[in-house]
Amino acid sequence: MATDQVSFTEGELLLDHEMAEPLITGGVRCHGGFDDDGTYVSPRTKFRVPAIHAWQAQNAETFGTETVHVPLDTWPGHVPNVAQARHLITAGVPEPLIATLTRIGTVEGFGANIRLLQPGDMQPHFDEDIRGTAIDHLGKGLFEAHGRDEAGWEEEAGHMDMWFAARDVAFEFPTAKVDIDAMLARMGFGQPGSGPGADLARALPDDIDPNLELIANLMIRVLFIEVQAFHTFAWAEEWLSDTDLVAGDGRAADLVSFIRADETPHVDYLKTALTEMRDRTWIGSGGTKHRGADMIGTLWQRGLDQSLGEGRVQTRKAVLAEVEHWCMEHEGGANILAEFHSLATREDAAA
């Protein structure tokens, strides 16, 4: 649906397409569904997707600029890699994969925190008019739609439970045998200071509204997580679709492909609103003007450094510790672990 419409109600931005059939997997009623042709349709996209396209086109026309972009290959591939995942499962040590799918679902659930942001009226922060922009709709449907997609809404499961469903389909309800809380605790969840948004140190000039900085900063961090997730989808779909390796006749991989489809509007609205912020003039509390390109550029660089540096080191450490933990629980674990390490991707082994 192409549209010149640039102003939407919250109800419109949260509205589903009409669906011919709901998505139900592993006994879980998920969001989204299928059209008459059996094609998967993401939730809450009837107006949201054309809205994003209209805002992008409008911003390009107003400022003559391109939408911000961050390519997937900014980040290395998933750890463990596909060969390592296959090896662990065939060696009889599926628990690290169960842990990984649980960790991904848990991180998805944290993504819903974006709906806690309170943009309020953003106009006083910007010199240029923001009516009919993505910025102006962040607190009027966009953050809420994002939060519902990640954590679920009413009776429909979102990404968190969809990853858990993929895990349960592929490994036939392993949570009866594995202590999930202990697993998450080992990987650093539930500790103070963990999770997105933990880094609240100011990076922008003092006269920039702290709430605006908080919002732009979290949007950038979430955008980086969302883009990197496409490595995770490709990785998970590859081995979850192998019917000789895991249970579920490929249904777990299908579920991951539906989650992947839902992420595109997240990446797109975040990019669009950040582009609008970059191209505008920011107004400090005393009336001082700042170039949006400097403001977004500063937060962008800091976020990228964190994501490629400390963030990656921590995740990798937690994942490898979990692999080691489970290998050692099994007979011949040392050999299984040695083989696991020998299958490491070169860039990762060097890290």
Q: Give 143's Cβ-side CA count (13 Å radius).
A: 19
Minimum Å gap between C-beta 105 and Fe ion is: 9
Minimum separation from the CB atom of position 259 to Fe ion (A): 6
**Does residue 271 interact with Fe ion by CB under 5 A?**
no
CB of 270 to Fe ion, least distance (A): 9
Contact flag: residue 48 with Fe ion (CB under 5 A): no
Residue 150 Cβ vs Fe ion, minimum distance, rounded to whole Å: 5
Tell me which stretch binds Fe ion (CB under 5 A): 23-31, 158-166, 200-208, 318-326: 158-166
User: Are 162 and 28 in contact, with CB atoms under 8 Å apart?
Assistant: yes
**DSSP strands (E only) in 143-252:** none
CB of 324 to Fe ion, least distance (A): 28
Residue 159 near Fe ion by CB under 5 A: yes
Closest to Fe ion by CB, 108 vs 237, is 108
The CA distance from 104 to 296, in Å, is 28
Q: Give the integer Cα–Cα distance in Å for 125 and 112.
A: 25
Q: With CB under 5 A as the contact rule, which of the stretches 78-86, 135-143, 159-167, 204-212 interacts with Fe ion?
A: 159-167
Of 95, 263, 276, 322, the one binding Fe ion by CB under 5 A: 263
- The CA distance from 324 to 327, in Å, is 5
CB 114 → Fe ion: shortest distance, Å? 9
The neighbouring-strand residues paired with 157 are 30
Nearer Cβ to Fe ion, position 31 or 266? 266
Non-local CB neighbours of 216 within 8 Å, separated by 6+ positions: 274, 277, 295, 296, 299
251 binds Fe ion (CB under 5 A): no
In the stretch 82-111, what mask flags binding to Fe ion with x, by CB under 5 A? --------------------------x---
Q: How far apart are CA 276 and CA 326, in angstroms?
A: 47
Q: Residue 16, CB half-sphere, CA atoms under 13 Å: how many?
A: 18
Q: At closest approach, how far in Å is the CB of 260 from Fe ion?
A: 9
Angle between helices 251-279 and 292-308 (to 10 degrees): 150
Preceding omega of 210 cis (within 30 degrees of 0):
no
Does 266 bind Fe ion (CB under 5 A)? Our answer is yes
Residue 317 in tokens? 């450490």
Site string for Fe ion, 199-238 (x = CB under 5 A): ---------------------------x------------
249 CB contacts (<8 Å, ≥6 apart)?
243
Q: Which residues bind Fe ion (CB under 5 A)?
A: 108, 150, 159, 226, 263, 266
